Amino acid sequence: MKKVINITTAKHNLLKIITGLKEDIIITRDYQPVAVLSPVARNTTQKKPTLIVLGAKRCAPPVRTESIKAINEAAKLFSKTIVVYSRETESYLNKFKHQNLLAIETEKKNHPIVTSLKAGIACLDESDLFFMFAFLNKPIKAAVFQRLTAAISEAGKKEKGIIIPVAGGKPSHPLIFSVKYKANIIKIRKELGIPHIIKRHQEDILYVELDV
């Protein structure tokens, strides 16, 4: 059974409707169906991480082309790709090819990076165990995506919740976090950011040497 409600009713009772949403609800306007509200599908067996792409700021065409190409090549490694964009980068969205692509707009593109990351992790659900975040303006080789996602299994065995790549003897990007850090990131003050979380949880880090 599917319920049908008009758009006026939906507008005035949206929070209540969403909270109790268990099946599709068809929304009508002027006696015609115009939209469907559907509960998010849950897949608790999903083991692949989620990729969050921070792309709210414009970057040079060659840079974003290289970055998006590698992201698309690595798409099969992730359960979904979440792109955080702004109005000035909305045109980039149609270049991403992941079959499970989510896009969330931010109006705070000039705020610290953690602000965009907070927007991205808002799209995570209970099926997500780990998430990686990458910068659109810092291209990553597909082989690096492969190396780091493969390290998640090792992190699980060693009970580590943060994965940090090391290149040339120095910590690098992209980082991977267990979803247990979602609440920490949401609550962290923007002036502290991710470095503060890493500093406080050194014992929970798995460092991965990159040879690519």
Mean predicted lDDT score pLDDT of the chain: 89
H/E run at residue 86 = none
Contact assessment for residue 65 and residue 92, using Cβ atoms and an 8 Å cutoff: no
What's the pLDDT score for residue 45? 45
Rounded mean pLDDT, 14-34: 81
Residue 88 pLDDT exceeds 90:
yes
- Collapsing DSSP states into helix, strand and coil, what is residue 167? strand
CA distance 104 to 122: 9
pTM of the predicted structure, to 2 decimals: 0.81
Rounded mean pLDDT, 109-133: 90
Bigger pLDDT: 158 vs 98: 158
